[in-house]
Amino acid sequence: MNLRIISANLVVKLTSFYREKSAMLFTIAFPIILILVFGTIFMSQDNVSYHLCVQDLDQTTSSAQAVKTLELKGTFKITKVDPAVNATRYVIDNQVNLVLIIPKGYESSLMQRMTLNDVNASITIAYIYDPSSSSVATKMQILNSVFSLINQELSGKPPFIRSVQTSILTKKYRFIEFFVPGIIGMSVMTLSLFGTVNLNTELRQKGVIRKLSTTPITRTDWILSNILYQFILAVVSTIAMLLVSYAVFEVNLHIDAWLLGFILLDVFAFVGIGMILTRFVKEAQSAAAAANAISFPMMFLSGSFFPIELMPGFLQTLSKLLPLYYVNEGLRASMVFQDNMTALRYSAIIGAFVVVVFILGIIATQWEEGK
C-alpha cells in the first residue's frame, strides 16, 4: 500500500468528479429530491386529513351541528353538497369518492330520542361511494367510529373499554425521521455501486486500466483509493441530505459515530459488489443495467421507502437476506432510537457480509491482462 499513489488517485478522481457538473449535480441533487418529495408526502401523513362531501337534507341546527362534529372528531375537510342535487350523479360528475347523506328528519328523530327517551327513534346515514377509490374504505371506517362514539355518548353510559397509547420512544417521532436514514442507506448504496461499476468499466474499456497496469500502482492501491473516493462522495451526499432534512422538515435525528460507521460499511459492501460485477460485465452499458438489476430490488425490499412489515411474509424473509436492510435498520437504530446494542448487532451482520464480498471483489478485480 502506497499512500502517495492512493492520494494521487484520489485527487484525479475528485477533480474529474468536480469538473463533471452533471454527475456532481446528480450525486447531490438526486437524494435531496427524494427527501423533498417523499418527505412532503409523509409530512401530510403525520397530520392526515380527508376530504368529505356531506349532503344535509335536514337543513336544521342539529344537522349542522352533526356536520361540525364530523369535521372536528373525524378531522375531515367538509364540502357541503346542495340538497337539491342527486348524490350519485354528484360523485360521478365531481370525481369525489364519497358523499355522506344526512336524511330529512334528523333533528326530529334526535329530539325524540333525547327528550322522550324513545329508543325506537333512529336515523340512517347513507354513504354514496366509489369502490374503486383506495381511500374510501378508510374514510368509511373513520366515519363509523365517529358514529359509534356519538351513539355511545347518546346512551348516557360511560364506555367499558378505554385505551391508552404509550410510545416505546421517549420522544415523539414523525415518519420523515424514520424515512431519512433509509434514504441515506439507499443513496450511499446507489453511489457506491454505480460509481464503482461505471468508473471501472469505462476506464477498462478505454484502456486506462491497461496503461495503469504498466505503472507501479497495485490492485490494492487502486481499490483503496476507489473506496476512499466513494466514501467522500457518500459523506458529502449524506451531509446534503441531512441539511435539507433539518432545514425543510425540522427533523430530530441523533448523529454520532455510528452514522459514519454505517456509511463506511455501506460503501465497502457495494463497492465490493460493484467490483464483482465489473469482472463479469465487459461493456459500460451492460454494467449499468447489471447495477440496476441489483440496486432496484434492494431499494424496494430493504425498507428504504416503506417498512418491510407491509410486505408479504416471504418477501420479509428475503429482505432480511439483503445487506441494505441491515444498513437501513442499523442507521435507524442509531439515528432514531439511539439504541447502540441494536446498531452494534446490525453493524456486525453487515460487517461480516462486507468481509466476504470485499475479498471476492478483490479476487474478481482483474488488473493485469494476465491469461
Partner 1 sequence: MAKETEYAIEVERLTKRYGDLLAVNDISFTVNRGEVFALLGPNGAGKTTAVEIIDTIRTPTSGKVTLLGMDVTKKKHDIVPRIGVLPQGFSSFDRITVRETLRYYSRLFCCQNTDIDELIDLVNLKDKAKAQYRNLSGGLKQRLGIAIALVNDPEVVFLDEPTTGLDPRARREVWEVLLGLKNKGKTVFLTTHYMEEAELLADTVAIISKGKIIAMGSPGELIESNANYLAITLQSVDDRTFEIVRGMGFEPIHDNHKNIKVRVEHTDDVQLILNAIKSAGALYLSLDVRKPNLEEVFLKLTGEDLREDPPEKEAK
Residue type, 352: A
Helix axes 257-280, 340-364, angle to 10 degrees: 20
Among 180, 191, 212, 264, binds partner 1 (CB under 8 A): 212
Query: Is residue 211 a contact residue for partner 1 (CB under 8 A)?
Result: yes
Classified as helix, coil or strand, 126 is: strand
x/- letters, 352..371, toward partner 1 (CB under 8 A): ----------------xxxx
Tally of CA atoms within 13 A in the half-sphere of 329 that contains its CB: 23
Alpha-carbon distance of 277 to 293, in angstroms, equals 11
Query: Is residue 207 a contact residue for partner 1 (CB under 8 A)?
Result: yes
Query: Is residue 315 a contact residue for partner 1 (CB under 8 A)?
Result: no
Helix axes 219-249, 257-280, angle to 10 degrees: 130
Per DSSP, what are the bridge partners of residue 79?
Answer: 53
Considering the complex, state which of residue 220 and residue 316 has its C-beta at the smaller distance from partner 1: 220
Part of the chain binding partner 1 (CB under 8 A), chosen from 108-116, 201-209, 255-263, 358-366 = 201-209
> Per the structure block, which three cell numbers stand in for 339?
439504541
> Per the structure block, which three cell numbers stand in for 202?
469505462
Alpha-carbon distance of 233 to 126, in angstroms, equals 58
Considering the complex, state which of residue 8 and residue 149 has its C-beta at the smaller distance from partner 1: 8
Query: Is residue 16 a contact residue for partner 1 (CB under 8 A)?
Result: yes
Query: Is residue 340 a contact residue for partner 1 (CB under 8 A)?
Result: no
Size of the site for partner 1 (CB under 8 A): 26
Least Cα distance to 20 among 217, 205, 233, 238 occurs for: 233
Considering the complex, state which of residue 213 and residue 220 has its C-beta at the smaller distance from partner 1: 213
Among 111, 217, 228, 260, binds partner 1 (CB under 8 A): 217
Alpha-carbon distance of 46 to 176, in angstroms, equals 9
List phi, psi (to 5°) of 102: -90, 120
Task: Please list, in sequence order, all residues whose beta carbon lies within 8 angstroms of the beta carbon of residue 260, skipping any fewer than 6 positions away.
Answer: 235
Considering the complex, state which of residue 16 and residue 135 has its C-beta at the smaller distance from partner 1: 16
x/- letters, 50..89, toward partner 1 (CB under 8 A): ----------------------------------------
Part of the chain binding partner 1 (CB under 8 A), chosen from 2-10, 32-40, 88-96, 98-106 = 2-10
Among 11, 85, 114, 243, binds partner 1 (CB under 8 A): 11
Whether residue 264 contacts residue 56, with contact meaning beta carbons closer than 8 Å, is answered with no
**Closest separation in Å from C-beta 24 to partner 1:** 11
Query: Is residue 3 a contact residue for partner 1 (CB under 8 A)?
Result: no
| Residues binding partner 1 (CB under 8 A) | 2, 4-5, 7-8, 11-12, 15-16, 19-20, 206-208, 210-217, 368-371
